[in-house]
């Protein structure tokens, strides 16, 4: 029997499978985005143009980068809020819970409640509860384990000794990854009945203060390759994550735009879920990103440019 082909979890987005280019000139998208505000202001229904009247905004790489604020981001967020467009911050960060993200944003001069942030750990906890998967091997930072209240959290030592495991949850452990820890997860996933392999996003790398660092995806890919398990992805670029964000906003995919610095997780993921993708040239952006066959609907220098694009026709 031929060996089972491992799941292709890092394949390119199929957002353009119909052969239609998603690339559009900046002026066209500016008009589309602004028309939704014109229509809302005038109390009328918009015309035939596609509407973007809700925003999903990434954090690290868009609003800040590591421990550094991105110049003008706080002012840009304030200007966006003045437009009264529904918006939600969406992040694949698993190194800290939402409460810590609220504190970090406040330190950058951006005051938001925790409910304005959607993170993979929160979506994963809901998913696991709905499927009665209670016994977890959590390969996530210590702070993130607090999100998983009401679960039995197994230590790696207990898991390797044969304790029953319902799910292996993988986040960004950074320097805490070891061969033994990865091998413990591998052994759990090889058991019958198989635990679920839950990925808190599929971000490949991020821009840390000391340079680029591996994120969650490479470790999920290693476990999937070795075990044949199909990961349940509950962060970007999974359609389920974008659907959860849109549900939180009460918005439709065709009327929303994702603002991010990750060409795959943010832009391709959003477009595959039916949203527009607005790529910023901050954070992990590299010019080579625009040569990967993934075409953003709009590329801007930073989030500072976005309020002007959205409000230009309103003020004219």
Q: Is the pLDDT of residue 8 over 70?
A: no
Determine, yes or no, domain membership for 98.
no
Determine, yes or no, domain membership for 133.
yes
Condensed to tens digits (0 to 9), the pLDDT of residues 27-48 reads 555 555 555 444 444 444 444 3
Do 208 and 302 fall into the same domain? no
Do 154 and 228 fall into the same domain? yes
Condensed to tens digits (0 to 9), the pLDDT of residues 141-157 reads 998 999 999 999 999 99
Taking the CA atoms of 244, 9, 159 and 205 in sequence, report the sign of the dihedral they define: negative
Condensed to tens digits (0 to 9), the pLDDT of residues 238-262 reads 998 999 999 999 999 999 999 999 9
How high is the pLDDT of residue 31? 55
Do 83 and 142 fall into the same domain? no
How high is the pLDDT of residue 210? 83
Final residue of a domain: which of 217, 233, 249? 233
Do 135 and 215 fall into the same domain? yes
Final residue of a domain: which of 211, 233, 255? 233
Kindly report the CATH number assigned to the domain that includes residue 149.
3.40.50.1000
Higher pLDDT, 315 or 170: 170
Going by pLDDT thresholds of 50, 70 and 90, the confidence category of residue 26 is low
Enclosing domain of residue 294? 23-32+76-87+289-316
Do 296 and 223 fall into the same domain? no
Condensed to tens digits (0 to 9), the pLDDT of residues 268-311 reads 999 999 999 999 999 999 999 999 999 999 999 999 999 988 87
Final residue of a domain: which of 205, 233, 261? 233
Do 130 and 81 fall into the same domain? no
How high is the pLDDT of residue 42? 44
Q: For the beta carbon of residue 214, count every other beta carbon within 10 angstroms.
A: 16
Condensed to tens digits (0 to 9), the pLDDT of residues 81-128 reads 998 889 999 999 888 888 889 999 999 999 999 999 999 999 999 999
Determine, yes or no, domain membership for 221.
yes
Higher pLDDT, 29 or 234: 234
The secondary structure of the chain, three-state, reads: CCCCCCCCCCCCCCCCCCCCCCCCCHHHHHHHHHHHHHHHHHCCCCCCCCCCCEEEECCECCCEECCEECCCHHHHHHHHHHCCCCEEEECCCCCCCHHHHHHHHHHCCCCCCHHHEECHHHHHHHHHHHCCCCEEEEECCHHHHCCCCCCEEECHHHHHCCCCCCEEEECCCHHHCCHHHHHHHHHHHCCCCCCEEEECCCCCEEEECCEEEECCHHHHHHHHHHHCCCCEECCCCCHHHHHHHHHHHCCCHHHEEEEECCHHHHHHHHHHCCCEEEEECCCCCCHHHHHCCCCCCEEECCHHHHHHHHHCCCCC
Determine, yes or no, domain membership for 132.
yes
Going by pLDDT thresholds of 50, 70 and 90, the confidence category of residue 203 is confident
Condensed to tens digits (0 to 9), the pLDDT of residues 131-144 reads 999 999 999 999 89
Determine, yes or no, domain membership for 15.
no
Q: For the beta carbon of residue 248, count every other beta carbon within 10 angstroms.
A: 15
Going by pLDDT thresholds of 50, 70 and 90, the confidence category of residue 52 is low
Do 83 and 137 fall into the same domain? no
Do 81 and 127 fall into the same domain? no
Q: Is the pLDDT of residue 2 over 50?
A: no
Determine, yes or no, domain membership for 182.
yes
Do 226 and 311 fall into the same domain? no
Determine, yes or no, domain membership for 256.
no
How high is the pLDDT of residue 17? 36
Do 224 and 129 fall into the same domain? yes
Determine, yes or no, domain membership for 220.
yes
Do 129 and 222 fall into the same domain? yes
What total of structural domains would you count in the chain? 2
Report the chain's mean pLDDT, rounded to a whole number: 85
Do 195 and 137 fall into the same domain? yes
């Amino acid at each position: 029997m031929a060996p089972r082909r491992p799941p292709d979890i890092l394949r390119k987005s199929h957002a353009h499978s119909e052969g239609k280019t998603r690339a559009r000139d900046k002026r066209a998208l500016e008009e589309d985005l602004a028309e939704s505000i014109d229509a809302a202001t005038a109390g009328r229904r918009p015309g035939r143009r596609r509407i973007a009247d809700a925003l999903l905004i990434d954090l690290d790489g868009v609003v800040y980068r590591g421990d550094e604020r991105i110049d003008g981001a706080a002012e840009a967020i304030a200007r966006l809020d003045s437009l009264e467009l529904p918006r939600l911050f969406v992040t694949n960060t698993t190194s800290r819970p939402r409460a810590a993200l609220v504190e970090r944003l406040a330190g950058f001069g951006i005051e938001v409640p925790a409910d304005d942030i959607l993170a993979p750990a929160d979506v994963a906890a809901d998913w696991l509860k709905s499927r009665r998967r209670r016994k977890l091997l959590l390969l996530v930072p210590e702070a993130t384990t607090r999100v998983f209240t009401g679960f039995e959290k197994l230590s790696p030592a207990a898991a390797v000794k044969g304790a029953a495991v319902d799910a292996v949850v993988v986040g960004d452990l950074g320097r805490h990854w070891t061969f033994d820890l990865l091998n413990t997860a591998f052994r759990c996933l090889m058991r019958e009945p198989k635990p679920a392999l839950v990925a808190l996003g599929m971000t490949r790398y991020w821009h840390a203060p000391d340079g680029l660092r591996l994120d969650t995806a490479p470790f999920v890919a290693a476990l999937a390759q070795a075990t044949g398990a199909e990961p349940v992805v509950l962060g970007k670029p999974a359609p389920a994550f974008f659907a959860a964000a849109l549900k939180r906003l009460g918005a439709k995919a065709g009327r929303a735009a994702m603002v991010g610095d990750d060409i795959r997780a943010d832009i391709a993921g959003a477009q595959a879920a039916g949203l527009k993708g607005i790529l910023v040239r901050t954070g992990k952006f590299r010019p080579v990103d625009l040569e990967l066959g993934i075409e953003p609907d709009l590329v801007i220098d930073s989030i500072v440019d976005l309020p002007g694009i959205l409000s230009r026709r309103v003020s004219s």
